[in-house]
Structure formats: C-alpha cells, structure tokens
Amino acid sequence: NAGVTQTPKFQVLKTGQSMTLQCAQDMNHNSMYWYRQDPGMGLRLIYYSASEGTTDKGEVPNGYNVSRLNKREFSLRLESAAPSQTSVYFCASRVTGHGGTYEQYFGPGTRLTVT
Amino acid sequence: GNSVTQMEGPVTLSEEAFLTINCTYTATGYPSLFWYVQYPGEGLQLLLKATKADDKGSNKGFEATYRKETTSFHLEKGSVQVSDSAVYFCALTRPNSGYSTLTFGKGTMLLVSP
C-alpha cells in the first residue's frame, strides 16, 4: 500500500513552459486535493475534487488547472509557468462517506522552481 | 471566515524539555481540529485530532485538547526528543463545506538540541 504518490519529486521550469504534476492514491479515497506550500504561508488549497468527476477551486486557483482522471488519479497543470509558482506542491486524499473520518493523507511533495 | 493562528517559530528547546505550541481558531459551527507534523523533506503526517469540544487527541506523547470556550487546540508534550524536530501545523475543517477542505495555520518549526 503506497498511499499517496507524486511525480516528479523535483522540477525546474523556465517562465512560460507548461507541465503537469501527477498524483495517485491507492487507498480508494473519494476526495483529492492539491496544495502549495510557501515559506511563512502554511499550506494553501489550490483545487480539490470531492469525488470522481467533480473539481472545485480552492483559495489560490489562478494559473492552474486540474483533471480528476479517475478515482485514483488527480493531476495539476501549469499552462504557462511563472516565477510566483515556485513552491512545494502537495497532493492529498481523504475517504468520505458514512464512518469516514476527516483527516487527509499527504504525498511526499513536488519541489518546483520556475526561473 | 475560518482561520487558524499558530505561534511563530522557531521554538528551540533542549531534549527532555516541556513543549507547548499554541493554536487558536476562528470558525463557524463545530469544526474538527488537527495537528499535522512535517519532518524535513517529507509530506505532512497526521499527528492527532479532536472532533468535538473537550475531546483530547493524543499520539506519540503529544496531546491537545479541543477548548471551545477559548477556541484553542494547543499542542503539548512533556519531554521532547531530538527526533521531534519538525514543523507542526494546526488545521481545522470547514463545517460550511461539508468537512471536505482543511484550513491550515502557517506552521511552527520546533528545533530540539541534545
């Protein structure tokens, strides 16, 4: 049981380039999330998917798009990277439904630098 | 809106010292409260949680009590170890979003020296 996995672990982009961050979970969780972590800012929610087929904006969605490919996978796309998107990106998942608890399980993160 | 405020760090302690990291929150309704820990270079791990007033969450020697009257969820440990050095995040669910999203504090770095 690998939990939540993210690829890549590290990435360097030039301004204007695009890329997709991949996330997968093998815990059969319904909900998935993308956060960014910046020094002194804690974690801020970019997008989330409460269930397969749905996505919603979080606190800081501008410049990003997401795709809930299936129940296991939730990808984050930067169409035209900007230096302000230099950050560490975390994916998380959570079980929902009767008897489910509310904690989220996090992946190891992707460290992205945009030059 | 909903928010979480944590004491700023870093908190620097010697091994076996007592730890308190303060956390207060603002929320409508009855949020669930969490402490997450992030070790260097890793993702966040759930440390403990409490889902209603007066609940005490505990794990690995850490404790926190959900105090609705003071809107607080302070993290404590009686005797810290070097291996406890990490960043600690207080978080709450958003009751008005069906408990689907988390709001985090900015994190408090703990450094424990031998």
pLDDT of residue B46 exceeding 70, the answer is yes
- Tell me the chain B residues in contact with residue A48 when contact means C-beta distances shorter than 8 Å: 100-101
> What single letter denotes the amino acid at residue B47?
L
- Out of B43, B99, B100, closest to residue A48 by CB: B100
Residues B2-37 have pLDDT tens digits of 899 999 889 999 999 999 999 999 988 788 899 999
Q: Is the pLDDT of residue B100 over 60?
A: yes
Which residues in B lie closer than 8 A to residue A92 (C-beta atoms)?
A: 44
CA distance B58 to B48: 6
Tokens of A113: 């630098």
- pLDDT digit string, tens, across residues A68-96: 989 999 999 999 999 999 999 999 998 77
* Inter-chain touch A41–B32, beta carbons under 8 Å: no
In the three-class reduction of DSSP (H, G, I as helix; E, B as strand; rest coil), residue A85 is classed as helix
Per the CB < 8 A criterion, the answer to whether B37 and B109 are in contact is no
For residue B72, give the DSSP letter. Answer: B
Residue contact A48–B101, C-beta within 8 A = yes
CA distance B37 to A71: 27
Q: What is the pLDDT of residue A100?
A: 54
Is residue B49 over pLDDT 90?
yes
- Distance between CA atoms of residues A78 and B76, nearest Å: 40
Task: With beta carbons less than 8 A apart as the criterion, state whether B68 and A3 touch.
Answer: no
- Residue B39: the pLDDT is 94
**Cβ of B56 under 8 Å from any chain A Cβ?**
no
Cα separations in angstroms, B14 against B37, B58, B84, B111:
19, 22, 11, 8
Q: Which of A45, A57, A54 is nearest to A91 (CA)?
A: A45
* Residue B96 confidence (pLDDT): 57
Model confidence over A19-73: pLDDT tens digits? 999 999 999 998 999 999 998 888 999 999 988 889 999 999 999 999 998 999 9
